[in-house]
Amino acid sequence: MHVEKTSPKQLNRRKFIGLGALASASLLFPQCEIEEDEPLPIVTNHKAIVIGSGFGGAVTALRLTQAGIPVTMLERGQRWQVKSDGDTFSPNIPADKRSTWMRRRTVAPLGPPSFFEKHAGVLDRYDFQNMNVYAGAGVGGGSLVYGGITVKPVRELFQQVLPSGINYGELESTYFPRVINTLGASRIPDDLYETEYYQYARTAITQAEKAGLDAFDFPQAANWDIIRQEIAGTKPKSALVGELLYGNNSGSKLSLDQNYLPAAEATGLLDIHTLHQVKEIRATEDERYAVLVDEISTSGAVVQTKLLLCEYLFLGAGSVGTTKLLVKAKATGTLSQLNEHIGQGWGANGNVMGIRSLIGESTGQRQASPPVRGAFDLNNPHAPLTLDYANYPLGLDCNCSLQLGLVFQKEERGHFVYNRWRDDVDLVWNSNYSDQAATALRDTLNRLNNANQGVIGSLLLPDITGDFTYHPIGGAVMDKACDLYGRVKGYEKLYVMDGAFIPGTTACANPSLTIAAFAERSIEHIISNDFA
Asked if 245 is part of the footprint of ligand FAE (rule: CB under 6 A), the reply reads yes
Work out the angle at residue 145's Cα, subtended by the Cα atoms of residues 139 and 149, and round it to the nearest 5 degrees. 115
The residue type of 435 is D
Residue 18 is a binding residue for ligand FAE (CB under 6 A) = no
Q: What is the C-alpha separation between 408 and 453, in angstroms, rounded?
A: 26
Told to check if 512 binds ligand FAE by CB under 6 A, we report yes
**Closest by Cα among 520, 478, 203 to 363:** 203
DSSP code string of 95-128: --GGGBBS-SB---SSS---B----B-SEEEEEE
Closest contact distance (angstroms) between CB of 253 and ligand FAE is: 10
Q: Is the bond preceding 91 in cis, omega lying within 30 degrees of 0?
A: no
Q: Can residue 92 be called a binding residue for ligand FAE (CB under 6 A)?
A: no
Which three-class secondary structure string do you get for 507-528? CCCCCHHHHHHHHHHHHHHHHH
Among the residue ranges 28-36, 71-79, 170-178, 328-336, the one whose residues contact ligand FAE (CB under 6 A): 71-79
| Region near ligand FAE per CB under 6 A, out of 27-35, 234-242, 421-429, 510-518 | 510-518
Output the smallest distance, CB 35 to ligand FAE, in A. Answer: 27
Q: If phi over 0 gives left and psi between -120 and 50 gives alpha, with beta otherwise, what is residue 457?
A: left
Whose Cβ is closer to ligand FAE: residue 149's or residue 205's? 149
Query: Quick one: which segment of 73-81, 154-162, 206-214, 302-310 binds ligand FAE (CB under 6 A)?
Result: 73-81
Per-residue three-class SS string for 6-63:
CCHHHHHHCCCCCHHHHHCCCCCCCCCCCCCCCCCCEEEEEEEEEECCCHHHHHHHHH
Which residue from 20, 41, 91, 141 is in contact with ligand FAE, where contact means CB under 6 A? 141
CB contact at 8 A, 452 and 361: yes
Q: CA nearest 350: which of 168, 508, 155?
A: 508
- Min dist. Cβ of residue 470 to ligand FAE (A): 4
Neighbours of 1 (CB within 10 A): 15
Instruction: Annotate each residue in 477-506 with x if it binds ligand FAE (CB under 6 A) or - if it does not, as one string.
Output: ---------------------xx-------
Nearest CA to 61 out of 255, 311, 309, 260 is that of: 260
Does position 219 interact with ligand FAE (CB under 6 A)? The reply is no
By CB under 6 A, name the one of 135, 179, 241, 385 that touches ligand FAE: 135
145 close to 245: Cβ distance less than 8 angstroms: yes
Q: Does 374 bind ligand FAE (CB under 6 A)?
A: no
Nearer residue to ligand FAE within complex by CB, 277 or 436? 277
Residues 304-363 that bind ligand FAE (CB under 6 A): 316-319, 321
Between 136 and 347, CB nearer to ligand FAE: 136
Binding mask of the shown chain, residues 144 to 183, with x at each position contacting ligand FAE by CB under 6 A: -xxxxx----------------------------------
Exactly one of 28, 50, 61, 137 binds ligand FAE (CB under 6 A); which one? 137
Q: Taking Cα atoms as reference points, which of 186, 218, 229, 245 lies closest to residue 372?
A: 218
CB of 293 to ligand FAE, least distance (A): 7
From residue 122, give the alpha-carbon distance in Å to each of 199, 351, 421, 477: 29, 21, 29, 26
Smallest separation (angstroms) from ligand FAE to the CB of 33? 31
Contact positions vs ligand FAE (CB under 6 A):
51-57, 74-77, 134-138, 141-143, 145-149, 245, 277-278, 316-319, 321, 470-471, 498-499, 510-513, 515
